[in-house]
Structure 1
Amino acid sequence: MKVKKHWNALAAFVLSAALIAGCGGGKSEQAAGTEPSAAKGEKIKMKMSVTTSETSTWYKGAQMWADKVKEKTNGQVEIKIYANEQLSNGNQPKGIELLQNGSTDASLHSTIIYSGLDEKFSVISMPWLFTDESVADKALAGAGGEKLSELLREKGVEPLAFGENGFRQITNSKRPITSPADMAGMKIRVPNMKMYIDLYKALGADPTSMSFSEVFTALQQGTIDGQENPLPVIMSSKLYEVQKYVSLWNYSYDPLVLGVNKKLFDSLDKETQDIMREAAVEAMEYQRKINREENAQMVKELEAKGVTVTTLTPEQVKAFQDKVAPIYDQYTDTIGKDLIDAFRGAN
């Protein structure tokens, strides 16, 4: 297997030091201007960060990618996966930073986390942008996905494929949420994305941003009344123990980016690049499939645990859509009309 660029000994030493430091907590960064590579015939060993645990669909998809790449390169490329954001000590924005500077070689992160780099990444999280998963798939495979990929490349990340965290649902300890009036004054934890803060204010709620690691305790103590997340996160974090109401409203779609450090990817020969990309597309198709299967099963599991699960009707959803419609006008200048239209065009 060939690599386009060969390093001198000094650059190789700097890279090795950066990677070793990354395993110890991710504080060191790759030296500016260096590009990862390998001497002819040498194995390429990569580190991949995944935010969730080994039992998650995220990890299963990442493992399929790693296995297929190893198989199709005859063992020349080995990818070691680190679950639970180990490489960044649980700090997801730091995880993306490590990917950008080359301390980590690949990762699976939500576009919500990327929005910390650029608010344009908020586009795909806009309220009720997609009617269902098939429309989201179409958008990411079309003009919207290509524009998102261009933005990722500008940030030093080569996107190989999109997976999914899924549609985000809302939980709380007070009452079923079926109308905006039900949310009046309710303290809801949301991810650290400005658009989400503005959206929940528009719905009459009192949004607050905090680390997800603090959410269970905050719900337990009544510091917050509710939170929003896809069902797999709600289940794996056992939020049903402190949240008795789940409203299924599919208000925001949450995709995942299987990304590789762009300098590393660009240093590889085309054959290896093609293998990585084709394996990623296959692996993320599998990840989306099992994620959707698990979602359907989790509704039954939540109900069995005594949680009241409410599925909103189209009419009920429309009341929320009407309430947050001004968010699109508010963010048109920030995100860009062309980018928003590229995703809306999939419907």
Structure 2
Amino acid sequence: MLKKSLVLMLAILMVVSLVAGCAQKGPSDGGGQPKEEVKPVILKMSVTTPEGSSWTKGAYKFAELVKERTNGKVEVNVYPNEQLSGGNQGKGIEMLMTGATDLSFHSNIIYSIMDERFGVISLPWLLPTYEKADEKIKGAGGEKVAELLLEKNVVALGFGENGFRQITNNKRPIATPDDMKGLKIRVPGIKMYISLYKALGADPTAMNFAEVFTSLQQGAIDGQENPLDVIHSAKLYEVQKYISLWNYSYDAIILGMNKDKFESFDKETQDILRQAAIEACEYQVELNRANGEDQLAFFKEQGMQVTEVTDEQIKAFQEKVKPVYDEYEPIVGKELLDLFR
């Protein structure tokens, strides 16, 4: 009898153990395998300028908004200082077009390496004020540029700005065209700037931006031209003595996305990307404009001599560069040029 009782108890314990084991292993939804965690889509974003610039701050803002609004389903990794292209801005745009990178902040000037029509925004003194630049970029001019970008397999999610380009050098203050004579000035590798500086009597040298600091330091070039934010973030004040403020060329930056990658997302995500880009670009523009006075004051503290070129003095420069318009109107087309006039 005792033996039978022990056998019965053991049998009951085995059944209970099996039931408990099944309860622990079974999924809570009543069947199937446990659901795997969905990994986020990781997007790579290339930025030309170093950490601390308004460009990179705008890019990080974009990444923050995208992650937040997609609930972490899409994440953007930001690579400053043209890391992904090895310092070659033109290659950076090629990588965006082919899909080797997903997103980028690049200047319209660099896009004009691929297609000279993108240089229209930056023709000398075409957009002389921020108000005029805002009007044209947010209007039909910006819409046309976005349309042209689609031809290059790039979706323009938003427009930020590099701002007005100023000139620095180590030889002398610049206030008249005569002051430009013989100066070896680094310019982006596009024909328009080379033509422009030749018209002013300078010796323009095309060079990747990543090489500029060392070239100035070693005396291979006398000067360069860039907006204040770039001069500041790249620490060019350490290797330049003079800066002239003449607002001669407006420089937009484009938050571009590879078209194929953009179209791989559903409409809801596309809308999130567009809206996040618009807000991030607005943030970047605000930073860029707010920082100008502080950056100038800082340059003076570092020993730079600041020359503010007057409106009357600018007229002499404008007269010198008229041939640039004669050369480039047939290239960019009168219709496109008129959208920015």
TM-score bracket, normalised by the shorter chain, equals 0.7 to 0.9
Which residue number corresponds to residue 250 of structure 1? 247
Which residue number corresponds to residue 20 of structure 2? none
Matched pairs, number:
304
Q: Quick one: distance in 2 between partners of 1:158 and 1:281?
A: 13
Which residue number corresponds to residue 168 of structure 2? 171
Following TM superposition, by how much is the alpha carbon of 1:122 offset from its aligned partner in structure 2, in angstroms?
Answer: 1.0
Which residue number corresponds to residue 274 of structure 1? 271
Runs of 4+ in 1 over 6 A off after TM superposition: none
Q: Quick one: distance in 2 between partners of 1:141 and 1:92?
A: 25
Following TM superposition, by how much is the alpha carbon of 1:82 offset from its aligned partner in structure 2, in angstroms?
Answer: 1.5
The secondary structure found in structure 2 opposite 1:251 is coil
Which residue number corresponds to residue 203 of structure 1? 200
Q: Quick one: distance in 2 between partners of 1:237 and 1:223?
A: 18
Please say if 1:136 is aligned against 2:137.
no
Q: Quick one: distance in 1 between partners of 2:234 and 2:50?
A: 11
Please say if 1:218 is aligned against 2:215.
yes
Structure 1, residues 64-84: CA drift from partner, whole Å, max 9, x if none? 111111111122111111122
Of 148, 153, 166 in structure 1, the residue corresponding to residue 145 of structure 2 is: 148
The secondary structure found in structure 2 opposite 1:250 is coil
Of 316-325 and 209-218, the range deviating more from structure 2: 209-218
Matched residue type, 2:91 = K
Q: Quick one: distance in 1 between partners of 2:53 and 2:304?
A: 22
Matched residue type, 1:235 = H
Which residue number corresponds to residue 232 of structure 1? 229
Of 233-242 and 286-295, the range deviating more from structure 2: 233-242
Which residue number corresponds to residue 297 of structure 1? 294
Please say if 1:241 is aligned against 2:225.
no
Matched residue type, 2:204 = P
Of 87, 103, 106 in structure 2, the residue corresponding to residue 106 of structure 1 is: 103
Q: Alpha carbon RMSD of aligned pairs, Å? A: 1.4
Give the conservation status (yes or no) of the 8 Å contact 2:200–2:320: yes
Give the conservation status (yes or no) of the 8 Å contact 2:52–2:233: no
Q: Quick one: distance in 2 between partners of 1:250 and 1:169?
A: 6
Give the conservation status (yes or no) of the 8 Å contact 2:53–2:230: no
The secondary structure found in structure 1 opposite 2:120 is helix
Which residue number corresponds to residue 184 of structure 1? 181
Q: Quick one: distance in 1 between partners of 2:240 and 2:213?
A: 9
Which residue number corresponds to residue 22 of structure 1? none
Give the conservation status (yes or no) of the 8 Å contact 2:49–2:230: no
Which residue number corresponds to residue 327 of structure 1? 324
Cα separation, partners in 2 of 1:196 and 1:42, compared to 1, 3 Å: same
Q: Quick one: distance in 2 between partners of 1:186 and 1:74?
A: 53
Following TM superposition, by how much is the alpha carbon of 1:199 offset from its aligned partner in structure 2, in angstroms?
Answer: 0.3
Structure 1, residues 151-201: CA drift from partner, whole Å, max 9, x if none? 111000000101111111001112111110111122111110100000001
Matched residue type, 1:343 = F
> Identity over aligned residues, as a percent?
62
Structure 1, residues 108-146: CA drift from partner, whole Å, max 9, x if none? 111111111111111111001112112111111001101
Cα separation, partners in 2 of 1:54 and 1:221, compared to 1, 3 Å: closer
Give the conservation status (yes or no) of the 8 Å contact 2:165–2:248: yes
Following TM superposition, by how much is the alpha carbon of 1:43 offset from its aligned partner in structure 2, in angstroms?
Answer: 3.4
Which residue number corresponds to residue 44 of structure 1? 41
Q: What runs of 5+ residues in structure 1 fail to find an aligned partner? A: 1-40
Structure possessing the higher radius of gyration over alpha carbons? 2
Q: What runs of 5+ residues in structure 2 fail to find an aligned partner? A: 1-37
The secondary structure found in structure 1 opposite 2:159 is strand
Q: Quick one: distance in 2 between partners of 1:332 and 1:150?
A: 19
Q: Quick one: distance in 1 between partners of 2:106 and 2:272?
A: 21
Spell out the pairing of 1:10-29 with structure 2 (5 A cutoff). Answer: none
Please say if 1:120 is aligned against 2:138.
no
Q: Quick one: distance in 2 between partners of 1:60 and 1:295?
A: 16
Cα separation, partners in 2 of 1:220 and 1:88, compared to 1, 3 Å: closer
Following TM superposition, by how much is the alpha carbon of 1:42 offset from its aligned partner in structure 2, in angstroms?
Answer: 6.1
Q: Quick one: distance in 2 between partners of 1:178 and 1:313?
A: 8
